[in-house]
Amino acid sequence: MLPTVLSTVPKCLLFFIAVILSQYKIACKSSLLKVTDPETWKKLAVEKFNKFEQSLYYSSLKRPKNIILFIGDGMSLSTVTGARYLKAEKMDVLGGDVQLEWENWPVASLVRTFNSDRLTTESGSAATAFMSGVKGPHDTVGITGTVKCCECTELKEMERAKSSLMYASKAGFSTGIVTTTRVTHATPAAAYANMLHRYWESVGPSNKQGFHCVDAAAQLLTNASHVNVIMGGGAAEFYGPSDNTTFNTKGKRSDSRNLLQEWKDMQTEMNRKHVLLHTNDEFKRTDWSSVDYVLGLFTPSHLAYQLENQDQPSLAEMTEAAIKVLSRNPKGFLLLVEGGRIDHGNHENRAQYALTETLELEKAVEKALSLVDQRETLLLVTADHSHSYGVVGYPTRDTSVLDVDNTAKVSVNSVSLLSI
């Protein structure tokens, strides 16, 4: 009957019907994995661990005392390639003659970065995945796949992803977060916050029922007061427009709270050796052996790109300081280090900035390697998602990755850039 009916329909409408039916088919596709169920990822993790424990490689390993996770935000494979070539140029050798530090490590793998409801992830749900081990929905932080972005609703316990950093703190390990972005930004926030929208950094909304969704900065105080080291940017998320601070920038808070002062008061009440840092001079003067808790917010927003950095601690310097504080714990530590502005350089199509930030992440990795006992420390370097950056053309190996393809035919109206 159906073919008979369709035979009377004009061809243009048949095409339209086919499109609608195909969309319906896509909407009805079933998933082989229950990606919205946190238990799915726990079961998969157990299976992976059990399989790994049976491998010959595992038998030669010992359980690490310390873990350092390095995240290159938006550090695609092609970004690593471009950074490798820029490193060679800075060393005055041919492109391809040198590698980045982690490219020489014995174990390498690839990560699938889809989230619970999108094929392409962004930093918030990606950070939830590597900090909590579950897939979360688009534009959320610390949320399981059972809910969606971005309306303010009261979360159930099963909807809150549990961060490994929080587990480590409760278990007695020292913990730290170091980033070149705001400490309330997507990647670092996933270590301590649960938010239905990643951009609720200083102001959380309220719903019609009067329930208030708490912002990331406020959650840092309530959830991460036991995190030993937090360093990066984003001070303006912690105070209001009328508060007097080191910065000549109005704060973003609208609730009259000064969370910087609250953090200091909280640490004082608990009789902790602590320090609140805002300037590079304060950073350099700090005796890291005499403090147990550090909150360093060196800019109102993100830290400056290293190419524009006039007077801020570098990622490597902050990593060194964090390790000096955390490594005093005989039980061990967990440290998250993010080169967050790699992503921003790629977003802005500024290849030199993105590649330089990648080399800054490498410096942080190298600094960590020089400070820890590698026999008892697990170091991981990865990215949260890829980017559109590419190295194109067929240039000779002595060509700068920031230059044009010297083998391409160039006219007055066109050039062939290598980095796009």
pLDDT at 25 over 60: no
Average pLDDT over residues 288-302: 98
What is the Cα–Cα distance from 201 to 217, expressed in whole angstroms?
6
Task: Return the CATH number at 99.
Answer: 3.40.720.10
Task: Share the mean pLDDT of the chain.
Answer: 90
- pLDDT value of position 24: 42
Which of 50 and 296 is assigned the larger pLDDT? 296
Per-residue model confidence as pLDDT tens digits over 108-129: 999 888 998 999 999 999 999 9
Map tokens 């800075």 to a residue. 90
Confirm whether 202 is domain-assigned: yes
Q: Is 242 a catalytic residue?
A: no
Which of 179 and 60 is assigned the larger pLDDT? 179
Residues annotated within a binding site for Zn(2+): 73, 343, 347, 384-385
Confirm whether 388 is domain-assigned: no
Confirm whether 232 is domain-assigned: yes
Confirm whether 147 is domain-assigned: yes
pLDDT class of 48 with cuts at 50, 70, 90? confident
Q: What sign for the dihedral angle of Cα 158, 163, 331, 62?
A: positive
Per-residue model confidence as pLDDT tens digits over 368-412: 999 999 999 999 999 999 998 999 888 899 999 999 888 887 665
pTM (2 d.p.): 0.89
pLDDT at 22 over 70: no
Catalytic residue among 76, 78, 116, 123: 123
Angle among Cα 283, 288, 294 to the nearest 5 degrees reads 65
User: Structural domain tally of the chain?
Assistant: 1
From residue 166, alpha-carbon distances to 132, 171, 182, 336, 367 in Å are: 10, 9, 19, 12, 25
> Of the candidates 317, 340, 342, 318, which has an alpha carbon nearest to the alpha carbon of residue 80?
342
Q: Which tokens hold the place of 411?
A: 């006219």
CB 398 within 8 A of CB 141: no
Residues annotated within a binding site: 73, 185, 187, 338, 343, 347, 384-385
Confirm whether 171 is domain-assigned: yes
- pLDDT value of position 378: 96
pLDDT at 21 over 70: no
Q: What single-letter DSSP state applies at residue 238?
A: G
Q: Which of 54-68, 235-249, 406-420 has the lowest mean pLDDT?
A: 406-420
Map tokens 């932080």 to a residue. 141
Confirm whether 180 is domain-assigned: yes
Query: By residue range, what is the domain housing residue 209?
Result: 67-383
> Of the candidates 124, 88, 121, which has an alpha carbon nearest to the alpha carbon of residue 103?
88
Confirm whether 45 is domain-assigned: no
Confirm whether 113 is domain-assigned: yes
What is the Cα–Cα distance from 144 to 147, expressed in whole angstroms?
7
- pLDDT value of position 335: 99
Q: Which tokens hold the place of 31?
A: 């998933």
Residues annotated within a binding site for Mg(2+): 185, 187, 338
> Of the candidates 329, 334, 384, which has an alpha carbon nearest to the alpha carbon of residue 361?
384
